[in-house]
Amino acid sequence: MASTTQSVLGGLGLALMVGASLAGNARLERGLGYALSPLRAVAEVAAPLSWLGMRTARASEGSFVALEEADGKERQLLADAQDRFTTPQLQQLNAGRSFLPAETVGRPQGRLDGLLLRCAPAGLERVRPGMPVVSGNWYVGRIERVDHERQLAIARLVTERDFRVGSTMQDEADAQANTSQAESKARMVVGGLAESIKPTSSKIILAVRNASRTLTAGKWLVVDEEFSGEEPFREQARGFLLGRVQQLGTSAGEPEYGALPALDFRAGLYRVAIVGPESCFVGSGMELSDVLLGEDWIAARSLTRGDPNAARASLKLALGARNGARVGAAVVFSSRMIGRVLRTSPLCVDVQLVGESGFCAPALAQVEGIEKPIELGRIVSLGWSDKQGTRVRFLADGLASRELQQDLFEKDTAVPATIFSGSGDLLVPAGLILGHAF
């Protein structure tokens, strides 16, 4: 009788455990996390066993330092290139202006046509609504407001439905020189997306409205808010490029025009600059600091593989939600991003490594022979491409990444590139090395 009762109770217990594992009860999982947390202490106590390999560790220390120095140089070259191409290359667009570099850390909730911008605190105090936001020679939008509590500036993009900015049409030579004869100006309003372009299209074409005369395809549209008396920073916005004229068709017998920008509004815009009057952003503390020097990092010890399945690429760390770990946060080794936090429990976390299929992060590439960094958009891992687990295949959704693939990677000769984490994800700092592509 006793054995029968034990068998029944054992069967019920097993059924409950199986049912709980399938249901994924959050409270039960949290309780198990606390109950099993002493296992972490066992792993920590066993850590001195690794001292047996200290001689090997010391032997490899020199190569690690050399690798760290090389990574530091690559990251510095990227930072210099980003700074150089974030502000205008046309000298005339620098006159009478000052620039505050800003990094995109996300989009406002529910708004794809906006940017959350992080900049140096000393500069943020001087940011005002209406200030233009640019990327190189290109107009991006304007500042909507400053969120002092979160230490962020919020920008509206020119792609937003009700955004409007004054514009004139110029020849390419005039646009490059930022000059135009007053009597030859064709005036119009630009803003929002052209209605004839399907939402599923990969192209971003800005709507052109109320043109004062017939436009010419291929010519430049530049910002000119001479008659926008309510815009306090119209002089700082003047002359920045909006796009080339595109004739899209006809509407009610009249030609419909659009402006084709050379920016990826969907998957790009990692670094931008806020434009102020000449003396506004001049002074120390205006540059973005190195993210690796911040105080938000938490040191963690590796415990074991995160998943027993050999096909998975994961890791378990002796660090939990009680220490501040958050799902989606970047995990780094030195200056290299190795994964993101996938799950948290009270005292440990599971990490999804870059070799895991489905790993996703914003990225950009510094390609050999190309000065300007290329914004790849969000890259998604397809898993390891070799049995040794040293090479990862990625897909990217940025327009620039598709052009890069066509122009470079489909040629017979491979072009070396370093892949870095990009901007736009609050939990993934920009400028971390993801790997090298060949």
Q: Any idea how long the chain is?
A: 438
With left for phi above 0 and alpha for psi between -120 and 50, is residue 191 left, alpha or beta?
Answer: left
Q: Side chain identity at 46, as an amino acid letter?
A: A
pLDDT at 228: 75
Structure letter (DSSP) for residue 438 = -
Answer for the pair 308, 281: CB distance below 8 angstroms, yes or no.
no
Question: Is the pLDDT at 98 greater than 60, yes or no?
Answer: yes
Torsion of CA 128, 132, 133, 139, to 10 degrees: 170
Give the burial string for 333-368 (b: 16+ CB within 10 Å, else e). Answer: eebbbbbbbbbbbbbbbbbbbbbbeebbbbbbbbbe
Rounded average pLDDT over 383-411:
69
User: Percent of the chain beyond pLDDT 70?
Assistant: 74
Q: Which residue has the higher pLDDT, 4 or 161?
A: 161
What is the residue type of 241? L
pLDDT (average), residues 35-45:
47
Name which residue leads in pLDDT, 211 or 6: 211
Integer CA distances (angstroms), 266 to 222, 231, 324, 354, in order: 21, 26, 31, 23
Cα separation, 189 vs 163, in Å, equals 10
Q: What is the pLDDT of residue 273?
A: 96
% of the chain exceeding 90 in pLDDT: 37
Residue 162 per-residue DSSP state: T
Q: Is the pLDDT of residue 407 over 70?
A: no
Output the pLDDT for position 132: 97
Strands 254-260 and 314-317: unpaired
Of the candidates 275, 343, 337, 269, the residue with the CA atom closest to the CA atom of residue 306: 343
Range name among 3-17, 70-84, 305-319, 392-406 with the lowest pLDDT average: 3-17
Flag whether pLDDT at 138 surpasses 90. Answer: yes
pLDDT for the residue 224: 94
Q: Which of 223, 107, 191 is nearest to 155 (CA)?
A: 107
Q: Is the pLDDT of residue 47 over 70?
A: no
Report residue 287 as tokens: 């540059």
Residue 97 is predicted with a pLDDT of 95
Helix, strand, coil shares of the chain, percent, nearest 5, are 25, 30, 40
Of the candidates 224, 163, 216, the one whose C-alpha atom is nearest the C-alpha of residue 193 is 163
Distance CA(422)–CA(438), nearest Å, equals 19
- Is 334:354 a contact under the CB 8 Å cutoff? no
First-to-final CA distance of the chain: 70
Helices (H), 315-434: 399-404
Rounded CA-CA distance 201/265 in Å is 13
The answer to whether residue 18 scores a pLDDT higher than 50 is no
pLDDT digits (tens, 9 = 90+) for 231-280: 899 999 999 999 999 988 877 677 889 999 988 898 889 999 999 999 89
CA-CA distance, 128 to 142, in Å (whole number)?
10
* HSE-CB for 334 with a 13 A CA cutoff: 15
- Report how far residue 205's alpha carbon sits from residue 371's, in angstroms, rounded to the nearest whole number: 26
Q: Which two tokens stand for residue 154?
A: 């919020």
What residue spans of 37-100 are helical by DSSP H? 38-45, 54-86
CA 17/CA 307 separation, integer angstroms: 19
Strands 417-421, 392-396: parallel, antiparallel or unpaired by DSSP?
A: unpaired
Average pLDDT of the residues in 145-149: 95
Distance CA 17, CA 121 (A): 52
Q: What is the pLDDT of residue 305?
A: 65
Q: Rounded CA gap, 346 and 336, in Å?
A: 26
